[in-house]
Amino acid sequence: MKRILVTGGAGFIGSAFVRYMLNTYPELEVVNYDCLTYAGNLDNLAAVENDPRYSFVKGDIGDAEAVSAALAGVDTVVNFAAETHNDRSVSDPGVFVRTNVLGTHVLLEAARHAGVSRFHHISTDEVYGDLALDEQRAFKEEDVYRPRSPYSASKAASDHLVRAYHHTFGLPVTLSHCCNNYGPHQFPEKLVPLFAVNALQDKPLPLFKSSRNTREFIHADDHSAAVDAILRRGRIGEAYNIGTGTEKSVEEITDAILTALGKPETLKTYVPDRPGLDRRYLIDSTKIRTELGWAPKVNFEQGMRETILWYRDNPTWWKRVQSGAYREGRTEKARVRA
């Protein structure tokens, strides 16, 4: 890799990957391509915005002309760009289809014509469906897709397109399915930042009634390292599950947040379940561990506590998000690539 295009690089996981790659590879150039929807926050990239190897291009992956221009000189594409919030997919499924399916198609076409040496697509464990709380198995890469929400269905559709472009056109692709990410800079609509920020303001923490449902958790830095391993050593045309085996219920995560911040359990409130709420996600990450030698490094208890305290210690960041101030002049604050 000499120059890499990261789509969705201003989002939570995408920005973590941009920072990781620039910190890991001194010779690498990173182009961040992001249309800066509500979850795109260039504040996440303050640590690298003045790095001469980093540049930012404001654009939509559904804009064929803009994507083609951004691909000039790029040899590797990593597609993080996606609508990801399940609750939003229930209220407005069309946005998820437009970005996650049609946008991915535009990006694939542009990458094919540009002749990139690798197209890596970021997927999710949710394409596999869900498991019963007492089921004694984990999802494997060859499992049949059974998405249960508009979000996971749109990601499943984009996965199929990526594979089709490999088999039909020979585009050199890889895919990854990751479990729930946590870490600093996560937009406060997701569980950990939402509950941490609410607790810091003594506001209620709205747990779904099915609060014993579990999710598998990984730190965004471990996710970044896994994607890097796939880019370096992964087999073309293959998919890799990225997981830790660490399962926690919403109730357990909430308790951890309250404990770390010294807040009372009376902040817990219970709300009706979201339509189609999945019970449990767990993926088998044997393939990436044995083939590529990757393993998570961040201890969950320590990583989660440090993440919660990051929100406590960085009120300026989340207050700018809450007020909308992070949107002001955000193209101008980046060094935009010509």
Give the CATH class of 3-183+218-245+280-298: alpha beta
* Active-site residue identified among 29, 60, 83, 126: 126
Asked if residues 158 and 121 have their Cβ atoms less than 8 Å apart, the reply is yes
Altogether, the residues listed in the chain come to a count of 338
- For 253, the token pair is 């995560």
Q: C-alpha 299: how far from its chain's center?
A: 19
| Three-state SS at 34 | strand
- Are β-strands 214-219 and 247-249 bridged in parallel, bridged antiparallel, or unpaired? antiparallel
- Are β-strands 205-208 and 268-271 bridged in parallel, bridged antiparallel, or unpaired? parallel
Nearest-angstrom CA–CA distance, 79 and 7: 5
Task: Give me the DSSP letters along 252-296.
Answer: HHHHHHHHHHT--GGGEEEEPPPTT---B--B--HHHHHHH----
| pLDDT for the residue numbered 1 | 78
Asked if residues 269 and 203 have their Cβ atoms less than 8 Å apart, the reply is no
Please list, in sequence order, all residues whose beta carbon lies within 8 angstroms of the beta carbon of residue 64, skipping any fewer than 6 positions away. Answer: 106, 109, 110
| pLDDT for the residue numbered 212 | 83
60 belongs to the catalytic site: no
* Active-site residue identified among 43, 125, 130, 141: 125
Residue 53 vs residues 18, 82, 277, 333, 336: alpha-carbon distances, Å: 11, 24, 42, 16, 12
| pLDDT for the residue numbered 330 | 54
126 belongs to the catalytic site: yes
Nearest-angstrom CA–CA distance, 127 and 143: 10
Asked if residues 120 and 80 have their Cβ atoms less than 8 Å apart, the reply is no
Asked if residues 96 and 149 have their Cβ atoms less than 8 Å apart, the reply is no
The total of other beta-carbon atoms located within 10 Å of residue 336's CB is: 11
Asked if residues 29 and 40 have their Cβ atoms less than 8 Å apart, the reply is no
Q: Specify burial of residue 337 (Cβ count, 10 A radius: 0-12, 13-18, 19+).
A: middle
Nearest-angstrom CA–CA distance, 151 and 217: 19
| pLDDT for the residue numbered 329 | 60
* Active-site residue identified among 20, 33, 128, 151: 151
User: Structure pTM?
Assistant: 0.94
145 belongs to the catalytic site: no
Q: Which residues of the chain have pLDDT under 50?
A: 332-335, 337-338
| pLDDT for the residue numbered 334 | 47
Domains of the chain: which residue ranges?
A: 3-183+218-245+280-298
| pLDDT for the residue numbered 276 | 67
